[in-house]
Structure 1
Amino acid sequence: MGQRFELQPLSIESYKLRNGLRVVLNHDDAVPVVAVAVYYDVGSRNEREGRTGFAHLFEHMMFQGSENVPKAGHFQYIMKAGGTMNGTTSSERTNYFETVPADQLPLALWLESDRMRSLAVTQENLDNQREAVKEEKRLRYDNQAYGQIFDIVTSMIYQNFANAHSTIGSMEDLDDATVDDVKEFFRVYYAPNNAVLVISGSFDPATARELIETYFGDIPEQPVAPPINVEEPPEVADDYREWNDPHAPLPAFLLGWKIPARRTPEFNALYLAGKLLYDGESSRLYQKLVKGDESVVQLFGFTDERRGPSSILIGAIPKPDQDLSKIRETIMAEIETMSAHGPTSDEMMKLQNQLINDAVRLRQSSMSRAQAIGEYALYDGDPNLINTELDELLSITPDQIRRAVSTYLNTANRSLLDVTPAGKG
């Protein structure tokens, strides 16, 4: 049986403006700061062939100024107010967020509303941000050792274009983008009715409601964004590929499995299995490959959580002259053992303590709370899930983990990318 742990429920108040903007307020006076997070329901999953990279391009465009905010002004206003800020893009969403001293909430809301209302979509801004994205792609993907392997494996796991293409997108597609394309993308996906606004931290709820109505209430609603299909057949698209990485000093490999959507019981069981297999120094594979055999320079594992079919990736960079196939056999043997016997009672106890610790830590940061609440509101339509997710995870049994590993990981239905280093192709 999973253990029970009572966390004080977070205060969650949610409502919707007339223009469709979903608002969630999480009042907590423990620290005199407030976090604001805006989640737009647009990620690489919403892009079509020939127009990839738009969601990520927009993350850059949103800092290029709006009707009342000059280019890069957003950064300057927040930094001068003593705050921090950023934005990120994934397959599932694009988010923008700032943490500011509690008395600066009006500033944060004004800045977010001004760019939702009146982003400066000009040829000049498009040109310079297109170049910024290209430079980012060169630095982080093309010219970095192993920088492309996760995108390549993703394209091997998924068959549906919505799931398979990379978030950073194609440079050719970005070159083909016109100002009209960008304006249309902004109109459809950056509408208030396609967004969630979360405020978490120290604020007066009645004042916050007035500010939100003042700044966001008259931004026009837009027609609903077109629906997308992210369904997948069970089989991976490609089970083997070899790729020559001109920047890699050593060979490497990456394995990928297709698994069910986030927040399903099977996904939760596999997420926990991943923690036991590859997360942290006490995990099975770290103990076997890094501590025990001392055969790898680096071990990595990752659960890619999506609203549709998701994935688990496990890979390694071996030490020079180590046998890659033996390392892979060790990984598959651990998966096979877990699929036969499940986790031990000691592993379950440690895992549950880790989950409780993670949940407590998340609650201590206004920004962590805002982001978790934003995801539940956007993906599930229920921000209150932040108060029940820990119990859901603690209720997963060792046998559920065993069955999920047996069904989804201990199988030949997986993708393997072999990376050969510079000059060894």
Structure 2
Amino acid sequence: MKKIIVSIALGCLLTAGMHAQKVEFKEFDLDNGLHVIMHQDNSAPLVTVGVMYDVGGKDLGGNQEDGNRTGFAHFFEHLLFEGTKNIERGSWFELVSSNGGANNANTSLDRTYYYEVFPSNNLELALWMESERMLHPVIDQKGVDTQNEVVKEEKRLRYDNQPYGQLLFAVSENLFEKHPYKYKNVGEMEDLDAATLDEFNAYFDKWYIPNNAVLVITGDIDESKTKDLVEKYFSGIPKGEKPTRNFMQEDPITEQINATFYDPNIQIPAVIAAYRTPGHGERDAYVLDMVSTYLSGGKSSVLYKKLVDNQQQALAVQAVNLSQRDYGTYALFGIPLGDTTTETLITEIDEEIKKMQTELISERDFQKLQNTFENNFVNSNSGMQGIASSLATYYMLYEDVDLINKEIDIYRSITREEIRDAVKKYLNPNQRVLLNYLPESTK
């Protein structure tokens, strides 16, 4: 959603020190299954309250009779700001801003996260609002119709009318055949248009329950008083039946899949080599993070120096390891410069991949990688908002909250040999989708 920032200076929102201190936290569960994580830091009079639900774009709405509906989780990211039994329709943001706060929400294919940042004397307000969202949301036709138009406009602005805005969608629908990662997180508008109010209510009842969520509170709190407030506002929310998933597994890709997508918003083509990789909890997913940073992490990286600076064959080049719970997507992306063809560009990129499969990266480059990940680790825990999001994510998607402190040790333990072996294992031409992303005028 569009970010709402009011009353609190940006600097204050992010203060917490830039050194890699251990993040202390406490956890407990309510009888209804809601998991709660608290992190106390009294260095600034601010609190962040967030709720992450174990529901994302891969979790379809509807039913087999009417056809599954895409985009429900993202739709609810908007819909659950409409109002509640005790918060008048359209007044959510005004209530936040008039009390010196900021709020936002975001949805991935794996989860949905809502949060507020308030001066610490408004902690109770933040907890009450999130309990209202969970217990008393107003889901009616007026709200559905309103947010349907909002989502359509977002889709037009961010994807349909944005140069290269369909790129990830084009990759996913070719990389996945069975798993719902093949669907757009924003959904198809015809699915949302066809959905009934009963389907929306059924989706909420299934997924937005306390035992399918984690509540995280960080900042200037008193832990004992905060626990009492959590009990006050959340303990009475009824427990639901924990949803289960049974997604089909993908068959391995054994021959290169050639695909083409035409974008009316571009004049220069792009080429993408995309590979299906392990979910983000696997060690190899961490190794592939290092591979992508080595290849395109900054102007001194291998692909940038070769294709943009030295050979001047690319306007842009990037390696991305998109981590998700069930599968990852590793993508090598390039936009050719001048008379360079997409075929030439992918050949040059493949050449560097082959080097990595047969040679160890240098000790100097390896140390540079380690320094980069150390710095990223420090920055990720440098503010209460970041800490809150990390705590929720590590609990919900990794099932290990203490990764907020020890994940850096995984990167530290990765060897140059593991980097070579991961590239050799996953980034082969016969294991990929090769997507030519072309201007519609060339169709």
Match of 1:406 in 2: 424
Match of 2:289 in 1: 271
Task: State yes or no: 1:287 paired with 2:305.
Answer: yes
Q: TM-score, normalised by structure 1?
A: 0.95
Letter in 2 for 1:120: V
Letter in 1 for 2:52: Y
Match of 1:41 in 2: 54
SS of residue in 2 equivalent to 1:50: strand
SS of residue in 2 equivalent to 1:46: coil
Letter in 1 for 2:194: D
Letter in 2 for 1:215: Y
SS of residue in 1 equivalent to 2:402: helix
CA positional deviation for 1:69:
1.1
SS of residue in 1 equivalent to 2:260: strand
Aligned equivalent of 1:141, options 159, 179, 184: 159
Match of 1:419 in 2: 437
CA positional deviation for 1:402:
0.6
SS of residue in 1 equivalent to 2:315: strand
Q: 1:333-372 residue pairs with structure 2 within 5 A?
A: 333-372=351-390
Task: State yes or no: 1:386 paired with 2:404.
Answer: yes
Contact 2:269–2:438 at 8 Å: present in 1 too? yes
CA positional deviation for 1:238:
7.2
Contact 2:20–2:381 at 8 Å: present in 1 too? no
Match of 1:11 in 2: 24
Letter in 2 for 1:123: Q
Aligned equivalent of 2:42, options 29, 36, 48: 29
Deviates more, 1:246-255 or 1:116-125: 246-255
Listed one character per residue, the Cα deviations across residues 140-188 of structure 1 (whole Å, up to 9, x for unaligned) are: 1122221111111011111224221111111111111111100010011
Change (3 A) 1:85 1:246: same
Match of 1:3 in 2: none
Aligned length: 420
In 2: Cα distance, 1:37 partner to 1:314 partner: 34
SS of residue in 2 equivalent to 1:39: strand
Aligned equivalent of 1:57, options 61, 75, 93: 75
In 1: Cα distance, 2:333 partner to 2:184 partner: 19
In 2: Cα distance, 1:111 partner to 1:205 partner: 19
SS of residue in 1 equivalent to 2:114: strand
Letter in 1 for 2:74: H
In 2: Cα distance, 1:238 partner to 1:45 partner: 25
CA positional deviation for 1:107:
1.4
In 2: Cα distance, 1:263 partner to 1:339 partner: 23
Change (3 A) 1:302 1:71: farther
Letter in 2 for 1:104: N
In 1: Cα distance, 2:338 partner to 2:92 partner: 47
Match of 2:7 in 1: none
Match of 2:190 in 1: 172
CA positional deviation for 1:343:
2.1
Contact 1:24–1:383 at 8 Å: present in 2 too? no
Match of 2:11 in 1: none
Contact 2:256–2:429 at 8 Å: present in 1 too? no
In 2: Cα distance, 1:200 partner to 1:56 partner: 25
Change (3 A) 1:418 1:270: same
Contact 2:69–2:195 at 8 Å: present in 1 too? yes
Listed one character per residue, the Cα deviations across residues 68-93 of structure 1 (whole Å, up to 9, x for unaligned) are: 11233222222222222111111100
Task: State yes or no: 1:304 paired with 2:322.
Answer: yes
Match of 2:275 in 1: 257
In 1: Cα distance, 2:360 partner to 2:250 partner: 28
Task: State yes or no: 1:162 paired with 2:180.
Answer: yes
CA positional deviation for 1:30:
2.4
In 2: Cα distance, 1:99 partner to 1:395 partner: 36
SS of residue in 2 equivalent to 1:258: strand
In 2: Cα distance, 1:308 partner to 1:45 partner: 10
Match of 1:210 in 2: 228
Change (3 A) 1:230 1:23: farther
In structure 2, runs of 5+ residues without a counterpart are 1-18, 62-66
Identity %: 35
CA positional deviation for 1:230:
5.4
Match of 1:221 in 2: 239
Aligned equivalent of 2:130, options 78, 97, 112: 112
In 2: Cα distance, 1:237 partner to 1:90 partner: 29
In 1: Cα distance, 2:148 partner to 2:20 partner: 45
Letter in 1 for 2:53: Y
SS of residue in 2 equivalent to 1:346: helix
CA positional deviation for 1:228:
3.0
SS of residue in 2 equivalent to 1:379: helix
In 1: Cα distance, 2:196 partner to 2:293 partner: 44
In 1: Cα distance, 2:385 partner to 2:248 partner: 29
Letter in 1 for 2:290: L
Contact 1:157–1:164 at 8 Å: present in 2 too? yes
Listed one character per residue, the Cα deviations across residues 21-79 of structure 1 (whole Å, up to 9, x for unaligned) are: 01011111222211111100001122166311101100010110111112332222222
In 2: Cα distance, 1:83 partner to 1:282 partner: 40
In 1: Cα distance, 2:179 partner to 2:338 partner: 37
Change (3 A) 1:236 1:203: farther
Listed one character per residue, the Cα deviations across residues 279-313 of structure 1 (whole Å, up to 9, x for unaligned) are: 22222111112222222222233221111111111
Deviates more, 1:332-341 or 1:41-50: 41-50
Deviates more, 1:404-413 or 1:294-303: 294-303
CA positional deviation for 1:7:
4.4
In 2: Cα distance, 1:231 partner to 1:7 partner: 39
In structure 1, runs of 5+ residues without a counterpart are 1-5
Aligned equivalent of 1:197, options 186, 206, 215: 215
